[in-house]
A = this chain, B = another copy of it.
Amino acid sequence: MTTPAPDARRYHALPSPFAMKRGGQLHGARVAYETWGQLDAVRGNAVLILTGLSPSAHAASNAQDPSPGWWEEMLGPGKAIDTDRWFVICVNSLGSDKGSTCPASIDPATGEPYRLAFPELALEDVANAAFELVRHGLGIDRLACLIGCSMGGMSALAYMVLHPDSVRAHISVDTAPQAQPFAIAIRSLQREAIRLDPQWNGGDYDIHLVSDRGGDSDRYPEMGMSIARKLGVITYRSAMEWNGRFARIRLDPEKREDEPFGFEFQVESYLQGHAQRFVRSFDPNCYLYLSRASDWFDIGEYGGGDIMEGLKRIRIARALVIGVSTDILFPLEQQEQIATGLSAAGAEVEFVALDSPQGHDAFLVDIPNYSRAIGGFLARL
State the A residues within 8 Å of B (CB): 116, 178-182, 184-186, 188-189, 191-193, 195-196, 198, 202-203, 223, 226-227, 230-231, 234, 238-239, 242-243, 245-248, 259-261, 263-268, 271, 288, 292, 295, 298, 328, 331
Contact = CB atoms under 8 A, between A and B. Distances in A.
A367 B268 CA distance: 35
Contacts of A271: 185, 188-189
Interface pairs A-B: 5 shortest CB-CB: A182-B239, A181-B242, A181-B267, A181-B246, A196-B223
A154 to B, nearest CB: 13
This chain: how many copies in the complex?
2
Contacts of A260: 116, 195, 202-203, 288
Given A195-B260, A239-B328, 20 more contacts: A180-B239, A181-B245, A181-B248, A181-B265, A181-B266, A182-B242, A185-B230, A185-B234, A185-B242, A185-B268, A185-B271, A186-B234, A188-B263, A189-B234, A193-B227, A195-B261, A203-B260, A231-B231, A239-B331, A261-B292
A261 B248 CA distance: 37
Contacts of A186: 234
- The DSSP consensus for interface residues of chain A is helix
B230 A180 contact: no
B191 A231 contact: no
Nearest to A233: B185
Contacts of A265: 181, 184, 188, 295
